[in-house]
Amino acid sequence: MNKGVTPLLKDLLLNGSVLLAFLFVGNWLMTLPRLAALYRPRPRLTPLLVGLLGGALGMLLMSVTIHLPPNVLIDLRNLGVVLAALYGGLPASVLAASLIGATRVLLVGEWNGATAAALSSLLATAAGCGLLVRLPGWLLLRWTLLTGWSLAVSSTFLTYLLYGGPYLGSVLVSYTIVFTVISYLAFQCLEYMKRSHLLFERYKAEAGTDFLTGLANVRRFDALVPELLAASRLHGEPLSLIAVDIDHFKRVNDTYGHPAGDQILQILAGLLKNASRSYDIVTRNGGEEFSLLLPDCQQDKAGEIADRLRQTVERHAFRLADGQMLHITVSLGIASDDGLANAAELVRRADDALYEAKKTGRNRACQHNANTLSLSK
């Protein structure tokens, strides 16, 4: 193999490995729950984070140079600016270019024509990419435009440095091929990781969602109770739980059929959701069983909410798809945290109260107060 080709392949493998490792770590950082909770509700922070990551990538790539025959060194620092613009816009690209440029000045340690040209190249790349990315079109097209602009600016910079040299043409061709291939690799890797993360979040959400009602399911309920209980104790706020069960639901299925029963469940889910506070959590725990988790809610207040829900359901006319109108009732059990040992005890007390409500006639709300049960209708 040609002696000039072997170092080039090694350099390309090194740059590719560094790039993939950085993209993986950067994507992992951006999807950390705590960091995501910081920037997702604040969209203005996203360009800042993307710009910092783009700048870090450019600085890293600047340290792993590529040797082109006969004795020319290039690097792919502009790739950090291109990716920052693609995913963060103009502010991100300018920040990335500024960080890379500052690093270039510190490394060189002096100001000369080459340094000025390098800084101008970075800023021109940042400005052009930041403006081009605003054009409408699918993402791959915008990546193509940004890569083309970066290559045009970099080629101008290389021409300035190597003007009159016998190898200018071969260097420009080699740089264009290398930058395009590596940039495309980075783009595809980022898109793959982004799609994978979105699918993961989707499947994660679906795993905790009841397919019929759209409410949180029992799996999500089992995870939420200890989380909310720990939070309530941390902030000194009471947590209440209301267990809800439809009275004689089997009769509905036997008389009108399971599709009608499903409609009843969907309508009831909407009633419970609409009658709850915005931060309350309504879940379907299976069959005709529902629950309401009420943060910062005393048991007496939870009892009032439960009785209001009971009356709302009792008065509501459930319209089926064929036009028939049905009336149903629900029984409810209420429990609150008063120094309970664990989440399972809170659930058990609500279930005990629900059982008492059904045993004593249904269409009732029953509260579990320490070791006693009290009914309301």
User: Could you give all domains of the chain from N- to C-terminal order, each with its CATH number?
Assistant: 5-207 (1.10.1760.20), 218-376 (3.30.70.270)
Tens digit of pLDDT for each residue in 29-84?
Answer: 888 877 877 777 788 888 999 999 999 999 999 988 888 777 778 889 999 999 99
The secondary structure of residue 373, as a DSSP letter, is E
Does the model's pTM come out above 0.75? no
63: exposed, middle or buried (C-beta count within 10 Å: 0-12, 13-18, 19+)? exposed
For residue 257, the model assigns a pLDDT of 92
3-state secondary structure of 65: coil
Q: Taken in order 286, 289, 294, 299, is the CA torsion positive or negative?
A: negative
| Nearest-angstrom CA–CA distance, 137 and 161 | 35
Mean pLDDT of the chain: 88
* The pair of three-digit structure tokens given for residue 234, joined into one six-digit string: 């941390």
Q: How far is CA 38 from the centre of its chain?
A: 11
* The pair of three-digit structure tokens given for residue 372, joined into one six-digit string: 């006693």
64: exposed, middle or buried (C-beta count within 10 Å: 0-12, 13-18, 19+)? middle
Could you tell me the pLDDT band of residue 263, with boundaries at 50, 70 and 90?
A: very high
Q: How far is CA 36 from the centre of its chain?
A: 7
For residue 7, the model assigns a pLDDT of 75
